[in-house]
Amino acid sequence: MRHTWVSAAIILGLAATWLSIGPMSSAQHGARSHVATELVGYPPPLPQPYRPPPVVTIGVYDNYFLPASMNVAPGTLVRWDNLGRHHHTVTFPGGSDSGELPPGIPYALTFPRPGVYHYYCRFHGVQMRGMIVVGF
Ligand SMILES: [Cu+2]
């Protein structure tokens, strides 16, 4: 009986030692612990499904943009459709320019960054102006 208690105490002591230092030191199996480090976070996150960017359309008429002002989220694709009977442009001062857009020809730009973007038509700029507000 006394022998059993001594054995149990020895086993408990060994178990406590094992738990405190681990089954092997890291130097003993460095390669294995390197692999284990790489597997942290396994399984890897699932790939996100492709989500097309939001798209909005602005009408280009003779001689105005409709709507003249539009708020969009970052990453939105903005498309201008020339629904008028004349040629127009979508021109951002110091930036993109659609060139001359004949009737029926669209132009599109993506707005990745927040900000306020003013544009106009080079042929009718006095009255034909627009603004894209890209939200934060
Ligand atoms: Cu115009």
Tokens linked to 106? 């669209």
Q: Which residues fall within 8 angstroms of residue 59, CB to CB, at 6 or more apart? A: 65, 66, 80, 81, 83
Q: Which residues fall within 8 angstroms of residue 121, CB to CB, at 6 or more apart? A: 60, 63, 65, 88, 89, 90, 91, 128, 129
Q: Which domain holds residue 11?
A: 2-38
> Which protein residues have their CB within 5 A of the ion that is ligand 1?
63, 88, 121, 123-124, 128
Cα–Cα–Cα angle for 106, 69, 135, rounded to 5 degrees:
100
87 in a structural domain: yes
In DSSP terms, which residues pair with 107 in a beta bridge?
A: 80
- The CB-side HSE value for 80 (13 A sphere, CA atoms) comes to 33
Comparing 19-23, 61-65, 93-97, the range with the smallest average pLDDT is 19-23
Whether 128 and 65 share a structural domain? yes
Whether 24 and 75 share a structural domain? no
Whether 66 and 121 share a structural domain? yes
The average confidence (pLDDT) of the chain is 80
- The reported pTM is 0.64
48 in a structural domain: no
- Dump pLDDT digits (tens) for 86-117: 999 999 999 999 999 999 999 999 999 999 99
The answer to whether the CB of 89 falls within 8 A of the CB of 101 is yes
Instruction: Give residue 84 CA to ligand 1 midpoint distance, Å.
Output: 9
Instruction: Give residue 65 CA to ligand 1 midpoint distance, Å.
Output: 9
Whether 22 and 60 share a structural domain? no
Burial class for 132, CB neighbours closer than 10 Å (0-12, 13-18, 19+): buried
Whether 65 and 24 share a structural domain? no
CATH code at position 119: 2.60.40.420
Instruction: Give residue 21 CA to ligand 1 midpoint distance, Å.
Output: 78
Whether 63 and 23 share a structural domain? no
In this predicted structure, the answer to whether residue 133 has a pLDDT above a threshold of 60 is yes
> Residue 12: its pLDDT value, please?
42
Whether 120 and 88 share a structural domain? yes
Count of structural domains, the chain: 2
